[in-house]
């Protein structure tokens, strides 16, 4: 579907764009934006969605006219080779797409040293900052998607059943290993207990363990290092007063893999790791709030700002809260689906990164922008602009009145300056005096 959207829309999105003139002094000017391929784009992708994240960026880069160097995560090199096969099957010229396999810590500096024209990175904040610092040496532009600690706000008038079901999906799918997973839930105090009870009951009904013919809901965490982070965050919360309300049910042998149960926490505070950092695991802390302002403040009190969501039966209420949330994407009565919408720009604020992928903005991130300015009238018709040399007091006064007409302080002010400007029409016509057309279509030289 992503390929279909880009195939259908890239030519339109990246076609030359005319800009209107907003200043009467430049009435004779036309402006055209052009989108020019960057050249060679470097893409470094993570292990949590090893196909969809890099493949969409590769397609955007190629459709915009660039060459691509791709490095997937070390743990998912087979997926990188599969992407290579897909691109090869598309009939692209040899060498336009290159998949490299090398150490993760070496690839960014190597791409920058080789002279890629832009670097797209999805991963940790720490590595993103290192790459940005390295890119600064050559002023190579970067686009960074660096994760999140995404909040869900459940207002008093929300559908509790839908909010709970969405929290289960958005918090626990892929074992919570998604940049846009729900990692903090704020529930209005009037429905908090009911919400928590239903969330706990449905969490206990989930199954985690090794999959045998779709007999589990939650699989393993991808790496041992990530499993350690999840355990550290939960242990930190419990040691400081939080309580585990519910966990999913183990199925099969969960001792021989990186399995962690879906976990619901309560009694958490804003200073705990699970609330401050990206856990990237199947953990949902639930916090009550009393007012919208309190919920918004708690949701925004985070160094990440990738996605967020608001649940309410009243669209006006939901929009009121949504417009005050600090995040690149806000969903109403839903969460964790936007990355699959090719037309929707993807990216965040704060430590969640800079730049956008997907949609029109994503395509334009793959391009240089060039603006071509031209005259509407034929070349040579006006021999010089009004403000060119030689300078004079008369010219200064004329320009001052022209600016006052273009940006007046009121109707009376505008009219007064307009009549003053008309008295100086001779000054304004000087650039034309050597080339004034007659009724016969010829030029009269003055």
Q: Could you list the active site residues?
A: 145, 179
Name the β-bridge partners of 436.
444
- Spell out where 275-419 has E strands: 283-289, 304-305, 307-311, 329-332, 349-350, 353-354, 367-375
| Residues written for the chain | 446
d(CA 278, CA 149): 5
Name the β-bridge partners of 381.
none
> Which two three-digit tokens encode residue 147?
């994760």
CA atoms within 13 A on the CB side of 245: 20
Are 270 and 276 in contact by the 8 Å Cβ rule? The answer is yes
CA proximity to 385, closest of 401, 370, 397, 399: 399
Are 161 and 205 in contact by the 8 Å Cβ rule? The answer is no
DSSP 137-166: TTT--EEEE----EEEEE-TTS-HHHHHHH
């Amino acid at each position: 579907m992503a390929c279909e959207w880009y195939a259908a829309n890239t030519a339109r999105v990246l076609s030359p764009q005319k800009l209107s003139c907003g200043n009467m002094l430049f009435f004779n000017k036309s402006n055209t934006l052009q989108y020019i391929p960057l050249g060679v784009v470097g893409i470094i992708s993570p292990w949590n969605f090893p196909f969809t994240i890099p493949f969409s960026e590769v397609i955007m880069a190629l459709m915009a006219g660039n060459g691509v160097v791709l490095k997937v995560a070390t743990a998912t090199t087979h997926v990188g080779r599969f992407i290579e096969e897909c691109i090869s099957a598309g009939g692209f010229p040899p060498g336009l797409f290159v998949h490299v396999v090398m150490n993760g810590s070496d690839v960014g500096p190597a791409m920058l040293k080789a002279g890629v024209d832009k670097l797209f990175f999805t991963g940790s904040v720490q590595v993103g900052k290192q790459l940005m610092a390295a890119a600064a040496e050559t002023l190579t532009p970067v686009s960074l998607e660096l994760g999140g600690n995404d909040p869900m706000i459940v207002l008093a008038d929300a559908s509790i059943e839908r909010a709970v079901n969405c929290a289960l999906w958005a918090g626990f799918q892929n074992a919570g290993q998604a940049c846009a997973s729900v990692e903090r839930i704020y529930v209005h105090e009037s429905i908090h207990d009911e919400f928590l009870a239903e969330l706990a009951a449905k969490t206990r009904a989930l199954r985690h363990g090794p999959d045998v013919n779709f007999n589990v809901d939650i699989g393993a965490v991808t790496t041992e290092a990530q499993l350690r982070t999840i355990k550290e965050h939960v242990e930190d919360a419990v040691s400081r007063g939080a309580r585990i309300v519910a966990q999913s049910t183990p199925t099969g042998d969960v001792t021989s893999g990186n399995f962690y149960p879906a976990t619901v926490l309560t009694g958490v505070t804003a200073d705990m790791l699970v609330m401050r950092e990206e856990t990237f695991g199947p953990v949902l802390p639930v916090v009550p709030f009393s007012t919208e302002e309190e919920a918004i403040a708690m949701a925004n009190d985070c160094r990440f700002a990738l996605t967020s969501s608001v649940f309410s039966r009243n669209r006006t209420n939901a929009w009121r809260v949504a417009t005050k949330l600090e995040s690149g994407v806000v969903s109403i009565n839903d969460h964790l689906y936007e990355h699959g919408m090719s037309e929707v720009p993807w990216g965040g604020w704060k430590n969640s990164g800079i730049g956008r992928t997907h949609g029109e903005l994503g395509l334009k991130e793959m391009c240089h922008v060039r603006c071509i300015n031209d005259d509407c009238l034929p070349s040579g018709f006006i021999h010089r602009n009004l403000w060119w040399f030689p300078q004079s007091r008369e010219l200064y006064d004329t320009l001052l009145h022209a600016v006052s007409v273009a940006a007046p302080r009121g109707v009376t002010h505008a009219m007064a300056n307009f009549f003053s400007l008309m008295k100086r029409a001779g000054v304004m016509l000087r650039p034309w005096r050597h080339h004034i057309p007659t009724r016969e279509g010829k030029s009269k030289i003055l």
